[in-house]
Amino acid sequence: MRPEILFPLFADVDVLKGLGPKLRPLVARLAGERVRDLLFLSPTGLVDRRVRRIDEVQEGEVATLRVRIDGHQPPGRAGHPYRIRVADETGFAFLSWFKVFGDSLQRSHPVGADRIASGKAERFNTELQLVHPDYLVPPERAGEVPLHEAVYPATAGLAARTVRRLALAALERAPELEEWIDPHLLAREGWPAWRTALEALHAPTMGADLLPDAPARRRLAYDELFAHQLAMVQRKAERRAEPAPAVPASEMSQRMQAALPYRLTGAQARTLAEIGGDLALGQRMSRLVQGDVGSGKTVVAMLAMADVAAAGGQSVLMAPTEILARQHYETLQRPLSDAGIGVLLLTGRDKGAERRSKLAALASGEVQVAVGTHALFQDEVAFGGLQLAVIDEQHRFGVSERKRLQAKGDAVHLLALSATPIPRTLELTLHGDLDVSRLDEKPPGRKPVVTTAAPTSRIGEVVGRLRRAIGSGAQAFWICPLVSDSEALDVTAAEGRAEDLTRALGPGVALVHGRMPPGEKDAVMAAFAAGEVSVLVATTVVEVGVNVPAATIMVIEHAERFGLAQLHQLRGRVGRGADASACLLLYDPPLSATGQARLEVLRETEDGFLIAEKDLELRGGGDLLGARQSGLPDYRFADPAAHRDLLPLAAKDARALLARDPKLESARGQAARVLQHLFDWQPDGDWSAAG
């Protein structure tokens, strides 16, 4: 139940004066449907409206003048503005309006009257003018012109000044709330009280007030992070309190490990020990394994499945696409079968008797491991004794989907896999409710990918080299330009490049993009994996993460448009076999300083975790590549890059508070409950990166 003190903030925005049915959908689209959403809408700019003299005004800036009305000049002909000439002791200027009736202006602002005028200054010929002034009032109403006016986001049909008025109306409804921040931390940081911080947020007086490190903004960011971390710690505690079947280490998994054609890396051995420790505890495991493409996540998951099978339980591995599910099945099938563990593949393509046979094998417990896609969590899929759910590329699944899969057993252990390395500074934000393992070593035998950069003007030379390479049997990815946020434009660019390469290289060129039917897309990818296609042209929206060891060349057009993390992940598609591999980054000069730094980092390292840290530094949390894909929370105040120092503080404070007051019953605990409702960060909410 939401605390009653918050009811005014969770009322519909239409309770605010002046917000009628026409404005409501615009406000809802811009900020949200509740009063709180307007209250939490931060200004993005500041207008200084302090009075100046006419001779001090520069073109293009907002000017506020105390002037005398000198005369009215009606438009000479259609299309010309109505103008009022105004003056002060230093000169004159004009106030101009288009498509207005001059009679009302003459009545309201007669010649000889003193006025305060404020608006953007422009020059027409040599004359200074304010076109459609924002304010024009007599001196006794000067208080209506704010000295410093916060500028808010706007949208078509909803002016920034209207948004400001509504945000201030929302502020009036904000109650005084009991303090939830530890008093020592509050004093040390010098932060204002919650409501005072909101007042400062909406009333900036200088540019520094708009920055993330302004005291009011840091306080509000901490509030949000603290609420989130509380929910994370609560969720983690609830999971750990849930009994689950204990799964001991088995001889079966040890024999499988010994039979591998290679030794596990130190990181794999460490991660396997961490998973084994979780499974043996008798509590529900919730662990995330992070690692670059090819770092050995699937093998670690397979050995955990072997322990589960040896204990009499079943495991399931769910992948986001059929082609990835098939790849996992092909990787797991032989070693699991050789160990006497039954494994099957279940996808949406399974029909009729074959599907019924697979479902029966799972329901009876005859098969211990199921690999598949979304088809696995459908209602008719039942397990005889599901104990472990492994979810590959876990951010590609919704929380409800992951829960439906885990609900097919009692207290099912969760092992989530992610090929998107996350900076340590963001781990608490994304995975504070999970235990995290890192595969930060490459398997032995993996050769480094030689990474070079070249301007797009040399594309003809690149195609010539590619022709010679594929003539020798090589395969290549060619990632198309990221044209814009429009998938349609990206597809157009990809189609054009595929046509150009087909003319230059012959029929061994194929194209995949996100608008193709899944079956057609999978067929092209399968042909590439089978060596029937030499060059695969792709947009970045398509899943190109299949294992193609023969692919040794990666060309990325307009690499300067991509973030480090995505460039690194694309590069990881090559270098997976025994042959030397190369990645060529084509860029459009001149490169920005950030673009140059990005390409330098890629040339210097293949460490995905280091690259993720550099990506965060170069782009900031709000623009971190893969943010949406990785499940970064949609914070209102907190910036994961600018406020990274607040994250460990919030996590530590949340753990300390819940250790002392697990049910949040103390005065501070009850205040913290209000905070969680304020931000909608509840432990049972649909917000976790791994569910």
pLDDT in tens, 446-459: 788 999 999 999 99
Tokens of 446: 């993996």
**pTM score:** 0.79
Asked if residues 39 and 174 have their Cβ atoms less than 8 Å apart, the reply is: yes
Ramachandran angles phi, psi of 510, nearest 5°? -130, 160
Res 627: pLDDT: 37
* pLDDT value for 88: 97
Structure tokens that stand for 291 in this block: 């690692």
Whether residue 631 is predicted with pLDDT greater than 80 in this model: the reply is no
In this prediction, residues 75-96 reach a mean pLDDT of: 94
**What tokens were used for 172?**
């009036």
Q: Which pLDDT does position 685 carry in this prediction?
A: 64
Listed range (89-98, 220-229, 301-310, 392-401) with the worst mean pLDDT: 392-401
521-542 pLDDT tens trace? 888 988 998 999 999 999 876 6
Residue 620 confidence (pLDDT): 54
- pLDDT at res. 628: 38
Query: Which pLDDT tens digit goes with each residue over 155-190?
Result: 889 999 999 999 999 999 999 999 999 999 999 999
Asked if 166 and 38 touch (Cβ cutoff 8 Å), the reply is yes
The whole-number pLDDT of residue 626 equals: 38
Residue 489 has a pLDDT of 64
Say if residue 625's pLDDT is above 70.
Answer: no
Residue 575 has pLDDT above 70, yes or no: yes
Q: Provide the pLDDT for residue 632.
A: 61
Strand partners, 465: none
What mean pLDDT comes out for the span 629-633? 53
Q: What integer pLDDT is reported at residue 492 of this predicted model?
A: 65
Q: For residues 425 and 608, which has the higher predicted lDDT (pLDDT)?
A: 608
pLDDT of residue 487: 62
**pLDDT tens-digit series, residues 45-63:** 999 999 999 999 999 999 9
The lowest-confidence range among 209-213, 285-289, 402-406 is 402-406
CA 194 from chain centre, in angstroms, equals: 27
- Residue 686 confidence (pLDDT): 58
% residues pLDDT > 90 (the chain): 67
Q: Tens digits of per-residue pLDDT, 233-262?
A: 998 888 888 899 899 999 999 999 999 988
Task: Give percent above pLDDT 70 in the chain.
Answer: 94
Specify the pLDDT at position 99.
86
- Is residue 66 classed as helix, strand or coil in its secondary structure? strand
Which residue, chain included where needed, has tokens 């060129």?
A: 509
Give the residue-averaged pLDDT of 354-383: 94
pLDDT at 71 over 90: yes
Place 689 in a pLDDT band, splitting at 50, 70 and 90: very low
pLDDT computed for residue 565 by the predictor: 80
- Cβ partners under 8 Å of residue 60, min gap 6: 120, 121, 122
Q: Which two tokens stand for residue 598?
A: 């990005």
Give the pLDDT confidence score for residue 475 in this predicted structure. 96
Looking at residue 541, its pLDDT comes to 62
Question: Considering only CA atoms, which of 599, 594, 624, 622 is closest in space to residue 612?
Answer: 624
Higher pLDDT, 519 or 389: 389
More confident residue, 95 or 562: 95
Q: Which of 73, 80, 72, 50 is nearest to 62 (CA)?
A: 50
H/E element, 279: helix 266-280
pLDDT of residue 484: 57
Q: Which residue has the tokens 């599907």?
A: 355
pLDDT tens readout for residues 22-45: 999 999 999 999 999 999 999 999
pLDDT at residue 486 is higher than 70: no
The alpha carbon dihedral of 542, 543, 546, 550 has a sign of positive
CA 549 from chain centre, in angstroms, equals: 30
Q: What value does the mean pLDDT take over residues 312-327? A: 92
Q: Looking at the predicted structure, is the pLDDT value of residue 120 above 60? A: yes
Q: Write the CB contacts of 204 (distance below 8 Å, at least 6 apart in sequence).
A: 43, 46, 148, 150, 210, 214
Query: What are the tokens at 398?
Result: 């919704």
Amino acid 348: pLDDT: 85
**Rounded Cα gap, residues 636 and 37, in angstroms:** 9
Strand order in the sheet with 475-479: 449-455, 581-587, 551-556, 475-479, 535-538, 509-512
| Spatial distance between the Cα atoms of 342 and 344, rounded to a whole number of angstroms | 7
Longest dimension (CA), the chain: 100
pLDDT at 84: 97
The pLDDT value given to residue 650: 95
Q: Indicate the helix (H) or strand (E) that contains 566.
A: helix 564-571
Indicate the average pLDDT of the chain.
90
Res 213 pLDDT > 60 = yes
Domains in the chain, CATH or no CATH each: 50-145 (2.40.50.140), 251-439 (3.40.50.300), 449-605 (3.40.50.300)
Query: Is the pLDDT higher at 432 or at 195?
Result: 195
CA distance to 169, 564, 598, 668, per residue, from 567 (Å): 45, 5, 9, 46
pLDDT the model gives residue 93: 97
Among 137-151, 188-202, 466-480, 575-589, the minimum mean pLDDT is found in: 575-589
pLDDT band at 629 (very low <50, low <70, confident <90, very high): very low
The answer, yes or no, to whether residue 599 has pLDDT greater than 60, is yes
- 213 with 642: CB under 8 angstroms? yes
Decide if pLDDT at 621 tops 60: no
> How would residue 413 be classed by pLDDT, with cut points 50, 70 and 90?
very high
* Mean pLDDT in residue range 554-566: 87
